[in-house]
Structure 1
Amino acid sequence: MIAMVTGASSGFGEAISRALVAAGHRVIGTGRRAERLAGLADELGESFLPLVFDVQDKAATRAALDGLPSGWSEVDLLVNNAGLALGLAPAHQSELEDWEQMIATNISGLTLVTRLLLPGMVARNRGHVINIGSIAGTYPYPGGNVYGATKAFVKQFSLNLRADLAGTAVRVTNVEPGLCGGTEFSNVRFHGDDAKAASVYQGVQAISPQDIANTVLWIGEQPAHVNINSIEIMPVAQTFGPLHISRG
């Protein structure tokens, strides 16, 4: 199987790439940071192909995918992982630029890569799109405003893709993590404020990128007749009412 994992230079994408390669698959890892992808390529060897571009850049994305080597061009599994949250302020105090960047990456970038690879999957009558959504796409919380809205888009887009793909063997899944540590997510959200980012996970055994990677691998290796529509994953410490987190 040939997989493409967007946002492979850190966090979920890095862990997913490792898990897929360890299971015997080939992975095209995409991202903006060439040095991080090169380091992952050194670690994973010939089964990992680094591809440097920003999903927000339509021309660069098209050029990168059009330029895939012939032995890597038939992507069987697309993991749309590239995404981010910026800020946690209420809507009337949020930065418009933060909103625009979340929309550009979480929605526009995801749909662009999907649209470019999907025709090949349909033509070959095989393939799988796994979108990395979030519980924020289902459960609102203060400060989630546009981030949660982008993930609600991903949730509905995933379901609508399945509707459009009726009669084909192409599968679509939305993976919806809850509180997850060990990534740059909160550091990015709080614009590099390490202390504030660390406080999010203080006293909590959050889920990890490896947990998400294990889940993606399991979904991708299900029998061809099985489609996992969506899967929601939280740490035991997190639950509803609203999204209460028990701190130790």
Structure 2
Amino acid sequence: MPGPSPHPASAPRELPGAGRTAVVTGASSGIGAATARRLMAEGFDVVLGARRMDRLTELAAAIGARALPLDLTDPDSVAGFAGALDRVDVLVNNAGGAFDALPVAEADLDSWARTWEVNVLGTVRLTRALLPALIASGAGDLLFVGSTAGLVSYEGGASYTAAKHAVHTLAETLRLELVYDPVRVIEIAPGMVRTEEFALNRVGDPAKADAVYRGVREPLLAEDVADCIAWTLTRPHHVNVDLLVVRPRAQAAQHKVARE
């Protein structure tokens, strides 16, 4: 009879997200969609939230996630979304956007209101709704996708930079308020990321949107940010990555970008 194998097969490695449920907002495109794919690959059960259910349903079917409608500007939608969840271990507050590039002297207050509703008030609504579940999980993760615009101001960006500064302050405040609870508070602050919609939504003109990235060698992609998000969420739970700033190498600072 043959003897035992000198190299017995090792047990399959458990994925770091196994048994944990992660909610990703703004998951119909860009960083949100890339994060959903990456967290599924890490073993998380992923729940996708966004307004555009056609895109959301298609993505959910492709990766095996769950899609639920979510409009962060609508309190009833937020309540319905939260009520449909049995457990939440991770909340990735990704939904947001910029909707103008005007100087303050020409401020469009409707654009300001929209920017704050989506980036700030909507984020607070959902965070407040899901905090009890995050605490009850015993090892919750509350992650904010902010921006380097939340750390540095620049001309023509006040509506967005003000909103992202608010998100940065929200993360800092929650980290203080939750220090005795089993919840990590993480902020990812990307610099220049080329996605299919961000710049276009901001300037409204495809040619102007393309010009934002013209000549920049390898701006970040959504997948690069998703990689950072997954890394922070899969550290041992006593390790808190308070703030991770990530830029392409070609962007030394908000105003200093190498273009060819």
- Please give the TM-score of this superposition, normalised by the length of structure 2: 0.90
1:213 pairs with 202, 223, 226, which one?
Answer: 226
8 Å CA contact 2:24–2:35 kept in 1: the answer is yes
Q: How far off is 1:132 after superposition?
A: 0.5
SS at match of 2:92: strand
Q: Aligned pair 1:63/2:75, yes or no? A: no
Matching residue of 2:5: none
Counterpart in 2 of 1:155?
168
CA contact (8 A) 1:55 1:61 kept: yes
Give 1:24's aligned amino acid: G
- The CA RMSD measured in Å over matched residues stands at 1.0
Distance 2:252 2:43 in 1: 35
Higher-Rg structure is 2
Unaligned runs of 5+ residues in structure 1 are: none
Q: CA deviation at 1:243?
A: 2.0
Deviation at 1:52, TM superposition (A): 1.0
2:11 corresponds to: none
Equivalent residue pairs, number: 240
* Kept in 2: contact 1:90–1:145 (CA 8 A): yes
Superposition pairs of residues 18-167 of structure 1, within 5 angstroms:
18-45=37-64, 48-68=65-85, 73-167=86-180
Q: Distance in 2 between the 1:188 and 1:108 partners?
A: 19
Residues 1:16 and 2:35 aligned together: yes
- Which residue of structure 1 lines up, in the alignment, with residue 250 of structure 2? 237
Cα offset, 1:199, TM superposition: 0.6
CA distance in 1, matches of 2:190, 2:30: 13
What per-residue deviation string (whole Å, max 9, x for no partner) do you get for residues 101-124 of structure 1?
A: 000010000011100111122233
Q: 1:6 aligns with which of 14, 25, 29?
A: 25
> Separation in 1 of the partners of 2:84 and 2:233?
25
Which amino acid letter does the alignment assign opposite residue 29 of structure 1?
L
Cα contact 1:173–1:228 (8 A) shared by 2: yes
Equivalent AA in structure 2 for residue 32 of structure 1: R
Matched residue of 1:142: which SS?
coil
Q: Among the aligned pairs, what percent are the same residue?
A: 37
Partner of 1:246: 258
Q: Contact between 1:19 and 1:213, CA under 8 Å: does it hold in 2?
A: yes
CA contact (8 A) 1:12 1:183 kept: no
Q: State how 1:169-180 maps to structure 2 within 5 Å.
A: 169-180=182-193
Q: Quick check: 2:100–2:159 contact (8 Å CA) kept in 1?
A: no
TM-score when normalising by structure 1: 0.94
| CA distance in structure 1 between the aligned counterparts of 2:180 and 2:81, rounded to whole angstroms | 30
